[in-house]
Structure 1
């Protein structure tokens, strides 16, 4: 019966109200109902319902009545399983009995009294169980903020005014900032009693000038002075007396129970949590999070409805906060840009991880992306970290945990920027910069102010591993060295100081793709009149349209341009899947690793079409099909029957897109038209010669192949794969291996009839952005006949081809 209520039919399939999940068809629905999530929530709902039926709601007692007193009183009616008292929202309690008879007996008694006060006892209200989608709730809150902002933004005269308005409306107000300062003072006073000379230092959004009204309060408990005090307390008596006479303090404190020099971080965090719970008024929901990258104690301050956390080993974060404060003081345009881009990212669901963890961008990463863009503007708006280091004096030198964190303490020490672009132009340039940025092949470095080739970090990792092994052999025991290599991922953004920390290391491949896609959409919009000019009719314009989230209706594909896109398959660069031998070759190639990577992908593509999908090659393709895909020096044949060497691949695959989107490479101002040529084009071609459109046919010299497919190898493939796996349980190959997929194709070719009209199509390969990208784009040119059939084949290739290329690349060496 409950299943009928949980599952409803929708135009797109089915929706589970219990799990708040959409499923497309009946088989998927059956799998969902049998799944772990649905079963778990069903059990939780049943448990909650049973608890409600065995519970009573109690009110009317004094505030000093304890949980024990209530338990003892209601124990006379039946075994009490739990008592929950809420004194914050009002004095009431929920008394839960182990059996329903206890509840019925308690309700049958008309009068209940404790300490002379008459109690009100009634059945507990039965509420329907519902899974709260925090992400959706947060998104709805953003929509409410946008609705309040919309009238003000529409009435503004320029985009610059709109951006300033965003700052004024969502920044941390002065009153809230002062309230936070008072809370920090309160916590400082409490902790000083337990840890003499300790300091509570604020960092993060609350103090880095980029805070919003709902940001958390991040605190760092500095115990260095306390450790010094404790060491002095262990000195001879006369020294202790001398030290105590300075401030009237003695060693009588919690220090007598714990030695800070030997205590583990976990022990200290437990102690911090205990102090917060018992000694700081208004603090509740205290929790030690030991599994975080930097363990913290989380808490909630009731009076301000404020979430906060305290760490004991996060001195670098305090220094990062000072760095952001300095950058904010260097140029007044930074804050409006950061606030606008953060809000845009939240609206597009690119940022805002629920609970602080997730695959989306965090505010710190977004801020660093803005700073890096400003470092690469023409002329630069902000200096690099290395340049700031050179501007600092000796007194400002700072090294934390081995990392050089030196920069001037005052903005006046840094020469002002010569860049005079307004906020409107800079915002459009930000989107243009990252719309074509090669995230897969580069590591973003704010210290150097440039993108570093990802292959340079491969040799660094190997050198560190060798050093670790040598040190371990010399010491005859393993030791844990300071890790210098960042965790590489889809988006690599180094911390300005802790160079082993990838700030965007949590990002998934889909999140990185969505960020770049939204930048591309924003770049197109920023070239339109709706962005540049205020509407005379009071319609949304400028930031209002930029902030508007995409609709989820059936026209979404048409809105984002994907419905009418050309038939092209993208194969990204995935460093983690490459074998060690190919990694070494790419590392040795240095900045020129992209042509080599492109060559290997081309060979793998040929292997997939010919060997796995059993396509018949044309005459121009046959001449280059032989050879080892791992050691081939020649790429597959081009459309004009020429063979392209790796050098030719390096020069012939231009796409008309600047590789890193740098404003220094001549980014056009907002509202201007795109140039007809790019810097990556052949210098020998006349400047007035127009580039042919991508859809106008294959480019001479670019690798391409002609294939013929006589069977619908994409139809029913999943079913055939399942049957083959069942038949070969003992010796089946890996589920994604080329061997299994080849067997599937052979089975379809043997059992199924040929298509009426064989598909003859051309596949053209190119490296997007010339030598400045790592994404291979495979354009499929349809034949004159059978276009609809080829479209079905293409939709299959979109998913299948990249996976198979990854598999071949992973196993090739």
Structure 2
């Protein structure tokens, strides 16, 4: 295969475009990239630059006062001059560009050039290689560019505790910056009062919650409740309205007379706010209304101050959240250094801080809540739960906003100080260890309770609402909305139906867990805890290394396993399945494993037209490592396979026959069979002499009164084995090649009324069928085996599909696997959503 000079093959697989600095995994993606807008535009720019260089001259020797017009007049004698660029800052030189290359050649061939008595030095313009440099904001105080500046200062500190305090000093707003923001708020308050009498502009968020940084936006809430009352009072009496018109209601004639704040939508009010910003506030520009956001907002920038701001309407919950964070920060001085350091660490690891806003990354608010939740779960706790704060508040401090109980003390003196004496160095290491071992998919993080809640309480809408209201003690008659469950479930402290981390996807969650694991491992080393006597980097400096900057990240990439993860997502399941899993309680993972296996086989067999058959290779169910270490869980024997796979495979897939342990820590066989906690296909009766796990010694003592070791993690499942399944698959068609084009043509050929759902099962099945019809005879392209393993004890509940390539003469498996990485999880979710 021939490539131009821009494209080079990569040893690890795929291709790299040097012009665009982009890596693509396969030939099909490369073809799409070469035809794409970015590559075509950069190729055109490079060709233009090359043509300009070939028709340009480099000129020096003229006097500093020489003008651009003088140079143009002189070189016009040799040919048409397109442009003359003069640089007199560092040196006196000019670039003279001719319209045609002949003009450049004529001027260069001239033996001597003299302009105003000065002898000119004329040379061909130097030809430089074209390089694409993406535009980035060059803010010296931006967190992403502080590594080099901080490294030297942090290495000079005496301890990690001192390093953490220096991070706070480097990033927090100075008193002058705070004063500038206060002046802008006062200016905006004065302007808005003219148009919205008795309104109140309240700052919230990072600027005022004690976790401010140099680059943070100015978040503002425009409270119009009193303005509504004012407008109703004015309109209620024509006499009063007439009097006001002659006095101070002229602004009301221009805006409030044209809109009724009681009936107007938020978007309509924001349009008025945007108009006031554009026309009446000096220095404000780039005003934009985002009415389709979850919380509609007006964004603006101030040119002279270099500030960016957001204005929302009546955002009282956000203001109350800010007051809560202020209280927590005043309760314990260790919170601020932890927040600053962990936020910076998350930005360096690309887990947070999307410069364009939105996206599947953690925001600063979510990170702060995770840190507070960690501090609530220490022994003894550093910070109290929201419910505990509520009990410490007096009657005058009771607060209910939009039906949510937002009560907490206004002063820290009402809260008992923490008995926890751990230093900052230990707390930072503890944060990483805590979330490295946290069960994200099986838990819902609740700062109100100060402890994780089981996700099973949120699986069924009906039961979930009742349990949630009982567990969280929600006051008021506000109806509970359906909570958006995801890879990370983090409840807002007050608005209990809002998942603050609902924007995260599985990749972000995995990245967070992986980076926490790496950080926890590093924090156990002497390089973290002690200052280097040889002047090497230590402590936070190593911890803050950007993602990909060290060797650890590279080694993880090179050892990439051919595996696809399918996480447990309760929100994607129909209500009937969620109720069934809820009733299964501790065994919901095994039941969910069976249903996912059905869906995976359905995608491969029905949607992609692969041949799927149970593997002859016997697969043993794996016992949890933590139980093997303590000699528990040995009363089980398990073997697993899927089969037979045929037309009714979706109705009955046999998964992992296993024996559940009887006695105090498990269900006996008859109980499990009679309950809906575990499907019958998961249970196998066996005699006592059969319940021996191959490869393990029989425990010396069978005394049921033995107490588990104190450091043993609590099991979330009743079963002690992890189900496995194994298939052998054949691929007959190149279902990944040209799929987008075939899908587009199919949608164009169908009528609007008969078009299937874009990205749905029906459409993707038709796409595969169309691709298959292009080949008259089906032939085996490759074969591969696939193993499904359920993971989820104290870790996240997920199914890992491990692929092993078999016969592959055409070298197609890498391309096919890359296609499956995104296609298989999506289609599996679609099939799971259709389960009855």
TM, length-normalised to structure 2:
0.66
Question: For the Cα contact (< 8 Å) 2:204–2:322, is it kept in 1?
Answer: yes
Structure 1 residues 632 and 187, CA gap change in structure 2 (3 angstroms) = same
1:356 aligns with 357
CA distance in 2, matches of 1:440, 1:607: 24
1:292 aligns with 293
1:581 aligns with 576
Deviation at 1:491, TM superposition (A): 1.9
2:505 aligns with 508
The number of residue pairs the alignment matches comes to 657
Structure 1 residues 629 and 409, CA gap change in structure 2 (3 angstroms) = farther
Deviation at 1:162, TM superposition (A): 0.9
2:230 aligns with 229
1:477 aligns with none
Structure 1 residues 285 and 801, CA gap change in structure 2 (3 angstroms) = closer
Deviation at 1:218, TM superposition (A): 1.0
Deviation at 1:423, TM superposition (A): 1.1
- Give yes or no for the alignment of 1:534 onto 2:531: yes
Question: For the Cα contact (< 8 Å) 2:598–2:653, is it kept in 1?
Answer: no
CA distance in 2, matches of 1:718, 1:278: 56
- Give yes or no for the alignment of 1:491 onto 2:488: yes
SS at match of 1:359: coil
1:613 aligns with 612
Deviation at 1:608, TM superposition (A): 8.8
SS at match of 2:613: coil
Alignment of 1:763-802 (within 5 A): 765-769=789-793, 773-777=796-800, 799=821
Structure 1 residues 237 and 734, CA gap change in structure 2 (3 angstroms) = closer
For structure 2, which runs of at least 5 residues remain unmatched after alignment? 50-128, 467-477, 620-638, 679-702, 713-718, 751-755
1:343 aligns with 344
CA distance in 2, matches of 1:164, 1:638: 54
- Give yes or no for the alignment of 1:14 onto 2:16: yes
CA distance in 2, matches of 1:690, 1:360: 33
Structure 1 residues 537 and 197, CA gap change in structure 2 (3 angstroms) = same
CA distance in 2, matches of 1:261, 1:130: 56
Deviation at 1:407, TM superposition (A): 0.9
Structure 1 residues 502 and 806, CA gap change in structure 2 (3 angstroms) = closer
Structure 1 residues 392 and 763, CA gap change in structure 2 (3 angstroms) = same
- Give yes or no for the alignment of 1:636 onto 2:637: no
Structure 1 residues 158 and 644, CA gap change in structure 2 (3 angstroms) = farther
Structure 1 residues 606 and 559, CA gap change in structure 2 (3 angstroms) = same
1:519 to 513, 516, 520: 516
CA distance in 2, matches of 1:41, 1:566: 35
Deviation at 1:461, TM superposition (A): 6.2
Structure 1 residues 737 and 514, CA gap change in structure 2 (3 angstroms) = farther
Deviation at 1:716, TM superposition (A): 7.7
- Give yes or no for the alignment of 1:155 onto 2:156: yes
Question: For the Cα contact (< 8 Å) 1:598–1:767, is it kept in 2?
Answer: no
CA distance in 1, matches of 2:169, 2:367: 19
Per-residue deviation, residues 732-761 of structure 1 (Å, max 9, x unmatched): 9857669969x99xx999845999xxx9x9
Structure 1 residues 406 and 563, CA gap change in structure 2 (3 angstroms) = same
2:544 to 542, 547, 553: 547
Per-residue deviation, residues 485-523 of structure 1 (Å, max 9, x unmatched): 222222221211112222122222222221222112111
1:254 aligns with 252
Question: For the Cα contact (< 8 Å) 2:286–2:300, is it kept in 1?
Answer: yes
CA distance in 2, matches of 1:517, 1:293: 30
Alignment of 1:421-460 (within 5 A): 421-460=422-461
Question: For the Cα contact (< 8 Å) 1:298–1:307, is it kept in 2?
Answer: yes
2:686 aligns with none
Question: For the Cα contact (< 8 Å) 2:732–2:780, is it kept in 1?
Answer: no
Question: For the Cα contact (< 8 Å) 2:459–2:578, is it kept in 1?
Answer: yes
Deviation at 1:329, TM superposition (A): 0.7
Alignment of 1:257-296 (within 5 A): 257-258=257-258, 259-296=260-297
Deviation at 1:296, TM superposition (A): 1.9
Bigger shift: 222-231 or 403-412? 222-231
Deviation at 1:29, TM superposition (A): 2.9
Bigger shift: 391-400 or 567-576? 567-576
Per-residue deviation, residues 134-161 of structure 1 (Å, max 9, x unmatched): 6786899545311111011111121111
2:382 aligns with 381
CA distance in 1, matches of 2:507, 2:804: 27
CA distance in 1, matches of 2:704, 2:789: 21
Question: For the Cα contact (< 8 Å) 2:722–2:791, is it kept in 1?
Answer: no
Question: For the Cα contact (< 8 Å) 2:788–2:799, is it kept in 1?
Answer: no
Question: For the Cα contact (< 8 Å) 1:603–1:636, is it kept in 2?
Answer: no
CA distance in 2, matches of 1:623, 1:270: 61
Deviation at 1:602, TM superposition (A): 5.9
CA distance in 1, matches of 2:796, 2:420: 28
CA distance in 1, matches of 2:604, 2:310: 55
Structure 1 residues 398 and 750, CA gap change in structure 2 (3 angstroms) = same
SS at match of 1:300: strand
2:414 aligns with 413
Deviation at 1:577, TM superposition (A): 4.0
CA distance in 1, matches of 2:788, 2:418: 45
CA distance in 2, matches of 1:525, 1:683: 40
Deviation at 1:339, TM superposition (A): 0.5
CA distance in 1, matches of 2:542, 2:341: 13
1:368 aligns with 369
CA distance in 2, matches of 1:31, 1:380: 55
RMSD, aligned α-carbons:
5.2
Per-residue deviation, residues 254-307 of structure 1 (Å, max 9, x unmatched): 356334334333332222222222222222222222222222222211221111
Bigger shift: 581-590 or 713-722? 713-722
2:179 aligns with 178
SS at match of 2:445: strand
Structure 1 residues 254 and 632, CA gap change in structure 2 (3 angstroms) = same
1:201 aligns with 202
Structure 1 residues 285 and 41, CA gap change in structure 2 (3 angstroms) = farther
Question: For the Cα contact (< 8 Å) 2:459–2:570, is it kept in 1?
Answer: no
- Give yes or no for the alignment of 1:572 onto 2:595: no
SS at match of 2:580: helix
Question: For the Cα contact (< 8 Å) 2:641–2:726, is it kept in 1?
Answer: no
Per-residue deviation, residues 575-633 of structure 1 (Å, max 9, x unmatched): 34434432220133346523432444466678899994335435786887469877879
Per-residue deviation, residues 233-261 of structure 1 (Å, max 9, x unmatched): 335578779999xxx96433335633433
CA distance in 2, matches of 1:773, 1:43: 48
Per-residue deviation, residues 185-232 of structure 1 (Å, max 9, x unmatched): 122122222222222111111100001011111111122222223333
TM, length-normalised to structure 1:
0.68
For structure 1, which runs of at least 5 residues remain unmatched after alignment? 49-127, 466-480, 651-681, 692-698
CA distance in 2, matches of 1:364, 1:504: 9
